[in-house]
Amino acid sequence: MQGKVLYIDHEKCTGCRECELACSVFHTGASNPSRARIKVFKWEWEGIYLPMTCQNCEDPFCVEVCPTKACRKDPELNRVIIDKDKCIGCKTCIVACPFGAPLFDKAEGITVKCNYCDGDPQCVRFCETNAIRYIDASEVNAAKQYAAAERLLGTFPKQSI
Ligand code: SF4
Ligand code: SF4
Ligand code: SF4
Ligand code: SF4
């Protein structure tokens, strides 16, 4: 993969939720985390905080299933975007996404998702611990990612995964 990506290091996340607030304020003008395109999942008893947002997949299911072509790849910024004028709010992309990334915005009656804030990710700006970074894909260390994912999975009791 080429271009920039949102890189999340869950081991640096403190669960402060500033990223959710920054995202919702930037995109909706309201401080309402339920309208943010990023969600911070918390397992407080294990001390685990996991920010989740769109993976901007190389071969995305959301694009494949969208009946109006509102959801499409944008190679320029290495992302998948939803054209609000074409979205009919059918939620098919929400069902298709394996990461729970698209969000139905009741206030607008359409589906929305992370769009990298057009190249200036607000979640990155407001994350004080650098748990989220916007970096070149070539900087992503896959081996390090797998090791972190294995540590994360090993933290959960078997019955919870
Ligand atoms: S702003 Fe950073 S540290 Fe705070 S919840 Fe989001 S990712 Fe975690
Ligand atoms: S919405 Fe889901 S399927 Fe579509 S690019 Fe993002 S993570 Fe991939
Ligand atoms: S909700 Fe919008 S973006 Fe999603 S599949 Fe339907 S028309 Fe496409
Ligand atoms: S890059 Fe922008 S749209 Fe995506 S999660 Fe961060 S703040 Fe929200």
The 10s digit of each residue's pLDDT in 11-63 is 999 999 999 999 999 999 999 999 999 999 999 888 899 999 999 999 999 99
Q: 56-113 is classed in which CATH architecture?
A: 2-Layer Sandwich (3.30)
45, 55, 42, 57: which is closest to 10 by C-alpha?
A: 42
Q: How far is the CA of 140 from the centre of ligand 4 (A)?
A: 19
**Fold (topology level) of 1-53+118-161:** Alpha-Beta Plaits (3.30.70)
Q: How far is the CA of 9 from the centre of ligand 3 (A)?
A: 29
Residues of the chain with CATH 3.30.70.20: 1-53+118-161, 56-113
Residues with CB under 6 A from ligand 3: 65-66, 68, 70-71, 82, 87-93, 111
Q: Is the pTM of this model over 0.85?
A: yes
CB neighbour class for 116 (10 Å; exposed up to 12, middle 13-18, buried from 19): buried
Q: How far is the CA of 93 from the centre of ligand 3 (A)?
A: 6
pLDDT for 119 equals: 95
